[in-house]
Structure 1
Amino acid sequence: MTLQDKLQHLPETPGIYLMKDIHGDILYVGKAKNLKRRVRSYFQKNQQHSKKVQRMVFNIADLEIQPVDTELDALLLECRLIQKIHPHYNRVMNYYQNYCYVDFTESGPVLTKSPTTTSVGPFRQYKQLPEIVALLSETYLLPKVNNVTKKMIQQQLPAVEHYSLTERLANCHAFFAGKKTTFFNLLKERIAYSAKQQNFEHAQLIKEQLELCQRLYHYIQQRNKFCQKKQLTLKLPLSENYQKIYFIAYGSIVKTIIQKDDTAVIFPTEKFSLSPLQKEDVDPLDILRSYYTRYHKVTPSDEAI
């Protein structure tokens, strides 16, 4: 069957599609809520197509699709295939090997590619983490801070050097664990000091760094909360009064079933446990958590922790 034949017979269902070149190599993996509408859109004249998309379409010689039950299934399958195949034109979810852990030494937090017994993570924000680690180190006057920065922080935060090193390190660890920390209050004090000295450029810089840290901290808290839930149930509608039920325990889908809308939903009786998060699990977890937050309806089992 030619590419044009395949384009004419696409189903209007959720699924994933694999764009291939003349050699059969996969150029791109995508997901669709409606395969027919999404895939055909690549081959229609559209001024909004980026040059990257135009180059990809020019090189497409074949197409493979895989229909699935729901958009969530498509999202998760797309993620796993990107991680496995590493297609040239996929950027998102294609670099999970670069995700970092944060370990803690006597000198403060350090980034590592592999987990240790004392590390937390992994985190997908690997490009932002060095800036955040540096900001924590200087704000808490950790041992590796240079003398110039040390004098600046002593002026901005005179009380910090009176904290014990153990206490300072504990606050750094608490940040990456999503627990209570003095870090944000200290950053606000630094902003206030710089503004009082009319150093507004520096105050703005610290404010932007504060917002960056707040986003990561909120993400960590939400991820931790989701992974601590023992029983979550997500119901997604299918056709003809059927629905697909996703049973989620500790951040992972443990079972799915398809049944009629009016059928009672009973969570599996097996015992599930929280497993250490691996780099390749970060993106699927974020997809599942985001989808659950947007689409679930609260049930009694959702409150189980």
Structure 2
Amino acid sequence: MYPSVELQNIVKNSPFSPGCYIYRDKHGTVLYVGKAKIIRKRIKSYFDGFERQETKIQRMVKQISTIEFVTTDSELEALLLETNLIKKYRPKYNSRMKDDKNYIWLKIDTRSDFPTFRVVREVDSRSAEYIGPFPNTLPVKRILSGLRRIYPYRTCNRKIVQNSDGSISSSDAKPCLYYYLGLCQAPCAGMIQKKDYRTNISRIKSYFLSDKETLKQELESEMKKAASEHNFELAAELRDKSRDLDILSQRIRVRDNTDENEYRKTREQKLNLAMQELTSKLDVFDIQVKKGFKIECFDISNIQGKYAVASMVVFIDAKADKGKYRKFRIQTKDTPDDFAMMKEALSRRFKKQSSKDDSFSRMPDLLIVDGGKGQLSTAFNLLQELGISIPVIGLAKRMEEIFIPVDKDGELTFLKRTLKAGSEGKFLIQRIRDESHRFAITYHRSLRAKGQLASNLDMLPGIGAITKKNLLRAFGSIEGIKKASESDLLQIIKHKKRLQTLRDFLNSKK
């Protein structure tokens, strides 16, 4: 139920990105502020599912006159911005007012000769250093706990000062239990000097502020190894550490006084800076950054050549445009050959440049292939064959190193460029890479799950190709079929005896 055609069009053209949405009535009064991982999907649920909503929500929907969107780079930023907007507008239909307990900071008391780390919820001292914000406490504490085993630091409230002659004065000079556990180097007892202690603190700070991709890849590799060796307890522990890194790695630009206008302004400045930093590294190309600058990135996902897919993600002005994402199911190869798969995906993409689909009809200003020199060579040679002149770069799997192809007298060579850790340009490259990987692997897993289901159904006598296809389309998985009602299944299978045979078969697949 849409109160107006105008509102229906607003919803229809709403973004696929994470962010916040603001419902306003005809007077411009804010009725409700919400956040979503995918804005369009969330707001459509209010209108398409109107009859299923509770009475209070139905009353609100009937009053909505317009919707304002604020897209963010992550769901965590959306959460923090939502908190601030609710405080700012205090909307009638936001029954739970948010407070500062939604996110935390890591406080380092720089006044002390031997600083400590504190997890706090307010920035209340100009003499201290703060890292954050972070969306919740647990990941930060777990990361600190792990780092403390590598770089010991104190957690006590003792007053410890290093004197001008190098001696140390302490309110309690007896080492505590943490010294004997290897978690503190006992500055209180003069066991470590100020310079060495502060080196540990600096390394922990650097960890929170710099690129964590290498560590994440190592954790995921160890997790897969542990799982393959059936050490599931260790695999689960490594999985949790990897998830903690995901949370800490997300760039958060929302502070406690940031509203939608300030966020948009700051984000636009950061995105412009990201484009400048990225293109400055691509100095061999004559790249002119203009409004509407389009980046396309391709990635391949498969297991030993099976269920091979390619993803194409699109960024316009350094922002993900998910409505223009496209995916390709690889048709020419079923054995491991990422180079041939990349060539097929790119060939199919550029053959569609005369298509009515504006994702294909508009050529990219920069083409990125997620992979090293091999994939990049494939892309470069294909563009040469097709007579297409587009800047193309490769993105190495580790460290986000950029490779640029250069044709020197008929011989293809490569220049390597790196972006500074923690820079906006590097963060942009990381987001593009992560999106291309996520989009590819999601499609690959979907095909693999359907293939496994189809393989199971092939074993059942009496289930033909059409019935199998309809079951896959309707229920998507073995579990979906198991949970389906008899009336739903009879819409496809028609015969009760055959349906019972199917149920008996599925119940045997435990």
TM-score by length of 2: 0.31
TM-score by length of 1: 0.46
Q: Which has the higher contact order (CA 8 A, sep 6+)?
A: 1
Larger Rg: 2
